[in-house]
């Protein structure tokens, strides 16, 4: 995060979506994969955030070196376990789960996982997925991720943060539950 509370371009795009485009206020927002807890930094509108991350040391490291105040509840748990056991539904979900700078754990790329996310998304809810992949879907990995996601969330917008037919980049998929019913 920068001095002016700005994060990576895809994080800033999600912030714009939450604050300006959807104008969410006093909504339940779930963030799977806490990253550096930067999503809430600099937001104008008040919302209720729940961050879920598997790393038990992350919160202390971030508070010590990067972000002093984390807005919201922090849950230390595997994202799939949390989602499967959640009785609560959310207005907005961010799925940004990585186990290294470019790989998503395979159990978080399945149709079953996406169905569980669909279940905990409110009827008028929106979900944003961050993938690092080829934005033109010219690799098997990119095609498979796209196909699996769209088998559950049928109508999604995909927005690459940069265009490159040969290099992976962050691609945000934004899906609304209402578009799928």
pTM for this model (two decimals): 0.92
Residue 17 or 1, more confident: 17
Instruction: Tell me how far apart the alpha carbons of residues 144 and 150 are, in angstroms, rounded to a whole number.
Output: 10
Instruction: Tell me how far apart the alpha carbons of residues 50 and 133 are, in angstroms, rounded to a whole number.
Output: 26
Reported as a single tens digit per residue, the pLDDT across 48-73 is 999 999 988 887 777 787 777 778 88
Supply the mean pLDDT for the chain. 89
Residue 71 or 21, more confident: 21
Cα distances from 3 to residues 8, 18, 37, 113, 114, in angstroms, run: 13, 21, 15, 36, 35
Range name among 13-27, 96-110, 111-125, 142-156 with the lowest pLDDT average? 96-110
């Amino acid at each position: 995060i920068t001095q002016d509370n700005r994060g990576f371009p895809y994080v800033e795009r999600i912030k714009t979506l939450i604050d300006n485009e959807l104008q969410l206020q006093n909504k339940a927002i779930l963030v799977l994969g806490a990253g550096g807890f930067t999503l809430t930094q600099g937001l104008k509108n008040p919302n209720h955030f729940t961050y879920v991350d598997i790393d038990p040391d992350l919160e202390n490291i971030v508070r010590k070196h990067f972000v002093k105040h984390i807005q919201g509840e922090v849950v230390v748990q595997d994202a799939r376990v949390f989602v499967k056991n959640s009785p609560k539904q959310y207005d907005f979900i961010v799925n940004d789960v990585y186990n290294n700078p470019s790989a998503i754990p395979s159990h978080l790329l399945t149709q079953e996982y996406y169905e569980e996310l669909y279940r905990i998304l409110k009827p008028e809810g929106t979900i944003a997925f961050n993938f690092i992949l080829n934005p033109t879907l010219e690799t098997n990995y990119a095609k498979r991720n796209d196909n699996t996601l769209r088998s559950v969330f049928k109508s999604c917008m995909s927005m690459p943060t940069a265009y490159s037919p040969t290099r992976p980049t962050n691609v945000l998929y934004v899906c609304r539950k209402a578009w799928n019913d």
